[in-house]
Amino acid sequence: MALASTCIGGCMAVVLDRSQRDAVYQFVLRDLADMDDVAIVLGDGEVELAQQLRRRFEQGLRLLDDIGWEQTGARELYALSQPPQELRAVFGWLGESATAATGEAIAESADQGIKEAFTAAETSKMVLQQLPEGTRRPRP
């Protein structure tokens, strides 16, 4: 999936297709769910961190202005109108968030695989223990 760029108003704009837009939307929404962190860090006296969070949430909200506030995009293409430095900032943390989520999903999947393998091994042991003595395992 390649990003497109087009000339809008005399400068190059990054353009997302619908599937890219929808994926970005989900991660912005995921990030915005943590808005209450601002109150928590302020309560802990961490003013600078609270300000950093505010900036990050503002960037996400401005990105929604470009790609739409609806859960699923209706258009085929979405031109991003923010200046390059703003896009660099928002897609910087967005990329980090998505990379971390990928790692978490892989770990969860591996955890599930390990749980299933452990359960299968334990079940096999239990079944074998319940079989009458002298029962032989067929050769493959």
Mind listing the pLDDT tens digit for each residue in 71-119? 988 899 999 998 888 899 889 988 888 888 888 888 888 877 777 777 7
- Which has the higher per-residue pLDDT, 6 or 45? 45
* Domain residue limits, the chain: 4-129
Mind listing the pLDDT tens digit for each residue in 12-56? 678 999 999 999 999 899 989 989 999 999 999 999 999 999 999
CA distance 24 to 12: 20
pLDDT for the residue numbered 136? 60
The whole-model pTM stands at: 0.69
Place of tokens 């990030």: 31
